Chain A
Amino acid sequence: MKIRSVKLREAHKAANGGTSSFCSILWDLQALHLVTASSSDSSIAIHDPLLPSSPPRILRHHRDGVTALALSSNSTCLASGSIDHSVKLYRFPGGEFQTNVTRFTLPIRAVAFNKSGSMLAAAGDDEGIKLINTIDGSIARVLKGHKGPVTGVAFDPNGEYLASIDSIGTVIYWELQSGRTLFTLKGIAPNTGSDTSIMNVMSWSPDGETLAVPGLKNDVVMYDRDTAEKVFSLRGDHVQPICFMSWSPNGKYMATSSLDKQVLIWDVDRRQDIDRQKFDDRICCMAWKPIDNALAVIDDMGKYGVWESIVPSSMKSPTEDIPNLRSKNSNGLLLFDEDEQEASMSGSLSDLGEDSHGESEPPCRKRLRKQSVFDEYQDEDLHDDLNLLPKAEPEKKTYRVHKENSRKAKDGQRSMISTSRPKMQEAFQPGSTPLQHGRRCFLCYNMLGSITTIKQEDYSHIEIDFHDTSRGPRVPPMTDHYGFTVASLNENGCVFANSCKGDKNMSTLMYRPFGSWAINSEWYMRFEGEEVKVVALGTPWVAAVTSLNFVRIFTEGGLQKHILSLGGPVVTAAGFKDELAVVTHVSDCLPSNEQMLEFRVFKISNGTQPFRGRLPLTPGSHLTWFGFSEEGQLSSYDSKGVLRVFTCQYGGSWLPLFSASKEKKSDENYWVVGLNSSKLFCIVCKNPDTCPQVLPKPVLTLLNLSFPLASSDLGEAALENEFLMNNMHLSQIQEKVEAMISKGLDATLLDDEAFDIEAAQDRCILRLIASCCNGDKLVTATELVKLLSVEKSVKGAIQLATALKLPSLAERFNSILEERLHNKTDQARDISLPSSKYDLSAKADVAFSKYLTASGRSEVLDTTIRTSSVRLSAPLFTKKAKLSEEDKLGKQKADQNQTAHMEDNKEAKNSDLKNAGQVNSLRDVKKTHNQNLSDPFSKASNNHEEGKKVAEVPQVRSQRPSDPFLKTSSNQEEVKKVGEVTGAQSQRPANPFLKSTIK
């Protein structure tokens, strides 16, 4: 038998004269910190268990000894109670003082958080246990019934009961919902008398089924959760009463400390002690390490230590098979009455302790009795140990196998709650926050404005605000007697609906236009036996989705226009202009907790349903936001923080465009408000909040959209992302252009936009090519070259490859360029394919032919470049524009000119890159597209006079991508300049770049 001893080090000074004081110790959830306090010391110490020698962080806020500590189950909030009569809250692990939650008239002896951390129980020498809302510090309830000082309180892990114990040995079970006493067990625990260093404690087992209370016969007695009957007791070698006990995180073991200075470890199922240790002083508090096989202890002299590998490795680890009680609410959507729903500390976090006097004894620690060997466990333990670590960590995320809670069902938890149990998610209104009594909350928050409501006595007070105060109308606040629970807002009006409460209250829909020429233009709809679940607004329609799975569509004036039946219960809905998108359940969710959702988009004006399909979600998540982007792209956001945007590509698919996990700030939650083509607008909420408060006014944060890229060898995630983004934007614009043209509208503005994106895309691709070349990814580079939209860029790429001393690659690029030019001329010949691009190039070729007759070699080159720049200015996708007459003229000539043009190209190729003029022109191409790249060609000789001339024209052109105004006019200029040799030169003085380059 190994003799181990637990080394204790001083955390708190013992009281004067060495009298014992009650000390507490706690682990945080990740076992990264140990928190200690002593009733003889006004400071709280946060230790780092890995660096025990480093000085602890000290929180000095109390004016007197700290008697009680509690940590919320997500370890973000620390509560302390003190002899100075106050209960204080701190942020954890930072330790910033938050608030004085409450004050008593006498010392505090016990504090405890419920499971969600929303409720704090505090008790002490005062009469009555206070239940405090941690959010606002309001006293939810005072439980009175104890005759003596209360020394221990504990929330039942299942959140239904609170147990409390006093110093005279009485245990009371309270029902949290009603605040009634369920059972009073008198005199079952030892009477500790008036010694405040000994405190009676009790502790719920982690599964909540039993309550452990120190018994009168130096034992621990287990009481049943529901009946409060004695179940069994742990009785062994303690010779004095138990003063503290702590359940292992899985509830299989228990550590007990007694006034006889021994600590015993029990196997609870076998009711036998398996290990023990004798200490110098009485151990008055213990805490099991939540993710390891260790126990932290603190004695009544303020010395603490960690007892490592406490349970023999042959037995199950104390952190294995932790009952899944946690995080029914981990998504933070708090239930209305969270105090009834969840409560408790995990077994090890019980922070109360009791204490007895102890004289110092020489340290002796030995196992007094050895248990029989648990050979039969060995195999499975080895196996289980492998699973242990991953299990302990994600355990807080796992969802509880829900025990149907009848009371909850009766309570009728209505909309806006999406519980994370494997249960179909409830209907919710995008941009709303859960209704809380007495606090203002958002009914609707979108990019335009917000609707807030606060419940008063028998009515609600609703305010409508627009973010942009200069644009939106001023809407006076209104009094709402209906108790509206869902609302939606757009620039024309707002719609409200309430849910039916009871039988007599009908569900009502109200629409209120902001600007109307008629008075009393607001209207109401009443629904009997039907409840409005979700509302949506568009122009000019109002939609309500009801509990009978109807979509009811009204006009702005209140005319009932359409009633459609949906295939399943509604989840949410959103409107944008003419489109209404509705999300419904397809079926019950999978056992793996995946919601089965379907979306459909209706076009209200022409009564069509252009899209319909399954709504993808991250496994294990639920939908938290659904709506349209500023541009009208359908988007969704789920509870795992993934934003998806609908695209028509691939027959209608969802692109994951943002992932909160990639943002690297784990303590933040993003509450989505809206998005545009490149940014996500959201409100950042610090954990554990998931939704914003109305006051102080939340501020929008803009986050960049990005694809969840795999990390490639290239290591240019930003560029790759830009590449994908540009591609997506191009396809979106293409879609729009097609739609515009099919309607016969002018799409030139969109063309300009597309051109800009193409230019940006080429820049991005060139940069990617550069990094590919540097990383020897030649095949990728070749693929990228094929994606370049402008010949000039291809030439730039060739230049790049040559500069990087990759002649074979340059050769390959060259052949790609050649092939491309070849295809182009082939297509240009095919006059039956009318395309503006080719028209323009044809036009340029007219110019070319005239140049050819008029001037010499330099002009020839000049025009070649012009040709390509014309292509640059024309969006590459085909536009079915009508041909103007002169275009036709040009085209007739195009045929013959094209051949000449091709010859010229060949000539250019033959002379290859040795032609100084071309070198210069390419250099300029590079300047436009690739200014960030270091330009190895700037040293290329440009003393060639001809070269200079040639260089000038592309310079003029190269200005264009940065100047949208010039570009629109340039097409006209182009026509004018046909045959006008000096056309390009006339622009020269206006070009500020030119001088510098010529010099």
Chain B
Amino acid sequence: MAGQSDPHVSLFSAEEVEFIAEDEMVEIVPNMTIERLNFISGDFGPFLPLTVNQVPLWLAVALKKRGKCAIRPPHWMSVENLTKVLEEERDSQGAFQALPFHYVEISRLLFDHAREDIPDIYLVRSLIEDIRDVRLHKVETSLEKFSGTSAVKIPNLSAMEVNIIRPFVGRALQAFYKHDNPEKIPDIDRVSSGQSRVANSEPPRRPLRR
């Protein structure tokens, strides 16, 4: 990735992760008739007023900014579901609850651009923030615990969380590896950058949409 920020802090900046998340599909309800839209990423529409259409988030936001549609909040963004997730997140210490890979970015974008389309926005917002905090805390505590492995498996970790811990985990794992097999890697500093890339690819990354 060309315009990428300092790889030692994190692989992508938050904005970059958000940009990737904009390819997620959301449901919109247009309020006017719009002909089929042809984009490099595909064709969307035609749109009829008051019918539900699936479009990528970036298009939804663009249409929303022009006042041409309402965005339907995704199902997982209901107060009910979020309350449940938060509860379970708090209950289970080890595991993470299944949330969309880009839940932080999607909710952020929707809070910024489609405030009026989300019922109980304050509640939803605080719930998501709580969930995020709980999960981050959990990530941190679980990171404290891991030792002596060369790979970590954390299911249901979201993009933003992966992005935050990736540099640290990568380097930490590498350090473990180095200490375990001192003869194999004679000079870590020389190969550091190349190695860190290899390690970086370990946490599950979804292939980018083209």
Chain A interface (Cβ < 8 Å from any Cβ of B)? 96, 467-471, 681, 696-702
The answer to whether A699 and B50 touch across the interface, beta carbons within 8 angstroms, is yes
Max chain B C-beta neighbours (<10 A), residue from A96, A468, A471, A696: A468
The answer to whether A696 and B119 touch across the interface, beta carbons within 8 angstroms, is yes
Cβ-closest chain A residue relative to B29: A699
On chain A, the residues within 8 Å of B119 by CB distance are 696
Min Cβ gap B14→A in Å is 32
What are 13 contact pairs spanning A and B, CB under 8 A?
A96-B80, A467-B49, A468-B33, A469-B32, A470-B31, A470-B32, A470-B33, A471-B32, A471-B33, A696-B119, A699-B29, A701-B51, A701-B52
CA distance A454 to B32 in the complex (A): 25
Contact of A699 among B33, B51, B68 (CB under 8 A): B51
Chain B interface (Cβ < 8 Å from any Cβ of A)? 29, 31-33, 48-52, 67-68, 70, 72, 80, 119
CA distance A681 to B50 in the complex (A): 10
On chain A, the residues within 8 Å of B72 by CB distance are 699
On chain A, the residues within 8 Å of B70 by CB distance are 697
Q: A470-B32, A471-B32 provided; 9 other pairs, C-beta below 8 A?
A: A467-B49, A468-B32, A469-B32, A470-B31, A471-B33, A698-B50, A699-B29, A701-B51, A702-B51
The answer to whether A699 and B52 touch across the interface, beta carbons within 8 angstroms, is yes
CA distance A803 to B50 in the complex (A): 48
On chain B, the residues within 8 Å of A96 by CB distance are 80
Min Cβ gap A461→B in Å is 21
On chain B, the residues within 8 Å of A698 by CB distance are 50
The answer to whether B31 and A469 touch across the interface, beta carbons within 8 angstroms, is yes
Contact of A468 among B29, B49, B52, B80 (CB under 8 A): B49
On chain A, the residues within 8 Å of B67 by CB distance are 469
Min Cβ gap B152→A in Å is 35
The answer to whether B33 and A700 touch across the interface, beta carbons within 8 angstroms, is no
Cβ-closest chain B residue relative to A673: B50
The answer to whether B51 and A700 touch across the interface, beta carbons within 8 angstroms, is yes
On chain B, the residues within 8 Å of A696 by CB distance are 119
Cβ-closest chain A residue relative to B30: A468
On chain B, the residues within 8 Å of A697 by CB distance are 29, 50, 70
The answer to whether B32 and A700 touch across the interface, beta carbons within 8 angstroms, is no
CA distance A96 to B84 in the complex (A): 12
Cβ-closest chain B residue relative to A470: B32
Min Cβ gap B73→A in Å is 11
Cβ-closest chain B residue relative to A469: B31
On chain A, the residues within 8 Å of B29 by CB distance are 697, 699
On chain A, the residues within 8 Å of B49 by CB distance are 467-469
The 3 closest A-B pairs by CB, nearest first: A467-B49, A470-B32, A468-B49
On chain B, the residues within 8 Å of A700 by CB distance are 48, 50-51
Interface residues of A: mostly helix, strand, loop or mixed? loop
Max chain A C-beta neighbours (<10 A), residue from B33, B50, B52: B50
Min Cβ gap B177→A in Å is 46
CA distance A698 to B49 in the complex (A): 11
Cβ-closest chain B residue relative to A450: B50
On chain A, the residues within 8 Å of B80 by CB distance are 96
Min Cβ gap B92→A in Å is 18
CA distance A700 to B52 in the complex (A): 7
On chain B, the residues within 8 Å of A469 by CB distance are 31-32, 49, 67
Cβ-closest chain A residue relative to B70: A697
CA distance A612 to B119 in the complex (A): 49
CA distance A96 to B83 in the complex (A): 13
Contact of B31 among A468, A681, A701, A702 (CB under 8 A): A468
Min Cβ gap B11→A in Å is 39
Cβ-closest chain B residue relative to A97: B80
Min Cβ gap A189→B in Å is 43
Contact of B50 among A467, A470, A471 (CB under 8 A): A467
CA distance A468 to B31 in the complex (A): 5
CA distance A96 to B29 in the complex (A): 27
CA distance A96 to B119 in the complex (A): 19
The answer to whether B52 and A467 touch across the interface, beta carbons within 8 angstroms, is no
CA distance A220 to B31 in the complex (A): 63
CA distance A468 to B49 in the complex (A): 5
Min Cβ gap B113→A in Å is 18
Min Cβ gap A926→B in Å is 28
Min Cβ gap A918→B in Å is 38
CA distance A468 to B68 in the complex (A): 9
On chain B, the residues within 8 Å of A471 by CB distance are 32-33
CA distance A747 to B33 in the complex (A): 27
Min Cβ gap B30→A in Å is 9
Min Cβ gap B85→A in Å is 15
Min Cβ gap B172→A in Å is 42
On chain A, the residues within 8 Å of B51 by CB distance are 681, 699-702
Min Cβ gap A93→B in Å is 17
On chain A, the residues within 8 Å of B50 by CB distance are 467, 697-700
Min Cβ gap A697→B in Å is 8
Min Cβ gap B209→A in Å is 26
Min Cβ gap B60→A in Å is 15
CA distance A471 to B68 in the complex (A): 12
On chain B, the residues within 8 Å of A468 by CB distance are 31-33, 49
CA distance A526 to B33 in the complex (A): 38
CA distance A681 to B48 in the complex (A): 11
CA distance A263 to B52 in the complex (A): 57
Cβ-closest chain A residue relative to B49: A467
CA distance A962 to B47 in the complex (A): 23
Max chain A C-beta neighbours (<10 A), residue from B31, B48, B49: B49
Cβ-closest chain A residue relative to B119: A696
CA distance A697 to B31 in the complex (A): 11
CA distance A96 to B79 in the complex (A): 13
CA distance A96 to B80 in the complex (A): 10
Cβ-closest chain B residue relative to A465: B31
Cβ-closest chain A residue relative to B72: A699
Cβ-closest chain A residue relative to B80: A96
CA distance A697 to B52 in the complex (A): 12
On chain A, the residues within 8 Å of B33 by CB distance are 468, 470-471
On chain A, the residues within 8 Å of B31 by CB distance are 467-470
Max chain A C-beta neighbours (<10 A), residue from B32, B52, B70, B119: B32
On chain A, the residues within 8 Å of B52 by CB distance are 699, 701
Max chain B C-beta neighbours (<10 A), residue from A471, A699, A701: A699
Min Cβ gap B87→A in Å is 12
Min Cβ gap A515→B in Å is 19
CA distance A698 to B72 in the complex (A): 12
CA distance A888 to B122 in the complex (A): 77
On chain B, the residues within 8 Å of A470 by CB distance are 31-33, 68
CA distance A658 to B51 in the complex (A): 19
Cβ-closest chain A residue relative to B31: A469
On chain B, the residues within 8 Å of A701 by CB distance are 51-52
Min Cβ gap B26→A in Å is 14
Min Cβ gap A513→B in Å is 22
Min Cβ gap A683→B in Å is 9
Cβ-closest chain A residue relative to B52: A699
On chain B, the residues within 8 Å of A699 by CB distance are 29, 50-52, 72
